[in-house]
């Protein structure tokens, strides 16, 4: 069974006011002093962000337990530093980014200017094990149409700089300003994949291969395919659903490759439209069907995803989990719907943030 691991980026805020706080250095210092999570937590591009990474897991119950533990430990460390953590993909309140003083990040700020400052956003990256680069690239080619559905499931960023953006997942629209981000064409082989990455680095626009921010890429550090489309999810249960679906999609793609079934040959232009549509509407309207690239109700598209990856979900023991989690997600909504409902109930974006601090631990 393929292992799966998750990286989550959390927003650091004041527990009472919801204001973002640049506390990552203090949080990481506390972790190092007490040897708590020093191999789990790490700094990010801005001081208002904190990242953690789980260990590779085979069982989704174990993955969920680790995500919950890491979120609770992050909350404790942030509390000791005078703050709190919120699983919000963008900050609803106005924010001035505090760049982490590191040579790499300073290079990015100089190279990309304002686009870098707009990257104070929190994502969720899912790593799924693959046997080789060749299998990994074959998987990436076959994942492309389904990634927008994972984006819609995880959408958790309707507010930005004190305004409703009109999007369910605005984080991805900000991230799209990076020149190396987004969907990819069909590679066909690991050799072509690596040649393209090398050409992008040789252009001088990016610093190295780690700045190739494809929606799905070969990890530079691990023998995995790294799926990078998801917002950080408000609730840990949604993160687990995204991870279970991501693993099932990878396994299904690998089986299709071994069976000689070709990938769908959608253009990058259509894939960008599907990504935009998912970010805009989330689960509240239509999505573009991954096979036909025509609009269909979101619930039907989620059903198609479950059917497409159903054998892999069953083989992993995740079929019931996925069915129940999708049903609950359609009933309650993703993080974007929850945030908008909170604003409707309270009339205050500050209250949205402080309530999301609590739900991050739920």
68 located within any domain: no
Residue 162 has pLDDT above 70, yes or no: yes
Q: What integer is the mean pLDDT of 252-257?
A: 98
Average the pLDDT over each of 110-119, 285-294, 336-345 and give the range with the smallest value. 110-119
With pLDDT > 70 as the criterion, what percentage of the chain qualifies? 99
Q: What integer is the mean pLDDT of 58-63?
A: 98
Please report the pLDDT score of residue 145 as a whole number: 98
179 located within any domain: yes
52 located within any domain: no
Number of domains in the chain: 1
Q: What are 220-230's pLDDT values in tens digits?
A: 899 999 999 99
Q: What are 79-105's pLDDT values in tens digits?
A: 999 999 999 999 999 999 999 999 999
Alpha helices in the chain (DSSP H): 24-34, 60-80, 103-112, 114-117, 133-143, 147-154, 171-175, 190-202, 236-258, 268-281, 298-308, 310-316, 319-332, 335-346, 349-360
5 located within any domain: no
136 located within any domain: yes
pLDDT band, very low/low/confident/very high, at 33 (cuts 50, 70, 90): confident
Q: What are 11-28's pLDDT values in tens digits?
A: 999 999 999 999 999 999
114 located within any domain: yes
Cα end-to-end span (Å), the chain: 29
38 located within any domain: no
Please report the pLDDT score of residue 37 as a whole number: 65
Residue 215 has pLDDT above 70, yes or no: yes
Please report the pLDDT score of residue 117 as a whole number: 86
Please report the pLDDT score of residue 343 as a whole number: 98
- Domain enclosing residue 110, as ranges: 98-345
247 located within any domain: yes
| HEC assignment per residue over 11-71 | EEECCCCCCECCCHHHHHHHHHHHCCCCCCEECCCECCEEEEECCCECCHHHHHHHHHHHH
CATH of the domain at 295: 3.30.590.20
Please report the pLDDT score of residue 34 as a whole number: 78
Residue 38 has pLDDT above 70, yes or no: no
pLDDT band, very low/low/confident/very high, at 118 (cuts 50, 70, 90): confident
Q: What integer is the mean pLDDT of 285-299?
A: 97
Token reading at 197:
């990455």
């Amino acid at each position: 069974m393929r292992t799966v691991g998750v990286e989550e980026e959390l927003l650091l805020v004041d527990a009472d006011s919801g204001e973002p706080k640049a506390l990552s250095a203090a949080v990481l210092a506390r972790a190092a002093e007490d040897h708590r999570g020093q191999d789990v937590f790490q700094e990010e591009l801005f001081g208002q962000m904190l990242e953690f990474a789980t260990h590779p897991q085979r069982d989704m119950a174990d993955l969920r337990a680790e995500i919950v533990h890491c979120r609770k430990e992050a909350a404790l460390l942030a509390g000791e530093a005078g703050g709190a953590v919120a699983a919000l993909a963008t900050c609803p309140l106005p924010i001035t980014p505090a760049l982490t003083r590191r040579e790499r990040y300073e290079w990015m700020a100089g190279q990309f200017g304002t686009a870098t400052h707009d990257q104070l956003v929190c994502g969720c990256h899912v790593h799924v094990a693959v046997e080789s680069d060749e299998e990994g690239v074959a998987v990436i080619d076959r994942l492309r149409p389904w990634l927008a559905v994972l984006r819609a499931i995880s959408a958790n960023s309707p507010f930005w700089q004190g305004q409703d953006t009109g999007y369910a997942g605005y984080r991805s629209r900000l991230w799209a300003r990076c020149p190396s981000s987004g969907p990819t064409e069909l590679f066909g082989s690991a050799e072509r994949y690596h040649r393209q990455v090398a050409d992008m680095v040789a252009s001088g626009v990016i610093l190295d291969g780690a700045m190739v921010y494809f929606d799905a890429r070969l990890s530079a550090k691990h023998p995995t395919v790294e799926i990078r489309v998801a917002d950080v999810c408000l609730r840990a249960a949604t993160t687990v659903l995204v991870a279970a679906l991501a693993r099932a999609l990878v396994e299904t793609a690998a089986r299709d490759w071994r069976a000689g079934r070709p990938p769908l040959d959608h253009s990058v232009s259509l894939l960008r439209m599907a990504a935009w549509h998912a970010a805009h509407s989330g689960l509240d309207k239509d999505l573009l069907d991954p096979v036909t690239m025509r609009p269909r109700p979101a619930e039907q598209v989620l059903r198609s995803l479950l059917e497409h990856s159903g054998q892999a979900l069953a083989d992993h023991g995740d079929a019931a989990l996925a069915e129940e989690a999708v049903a609950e997600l359609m009933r309650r909504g993703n993080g974007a719907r929850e945030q908008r409902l909170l604003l409707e109930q309270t009339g205050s974006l500050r209250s949205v943030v402080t309530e999301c601090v609590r739900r991050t631990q739920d």
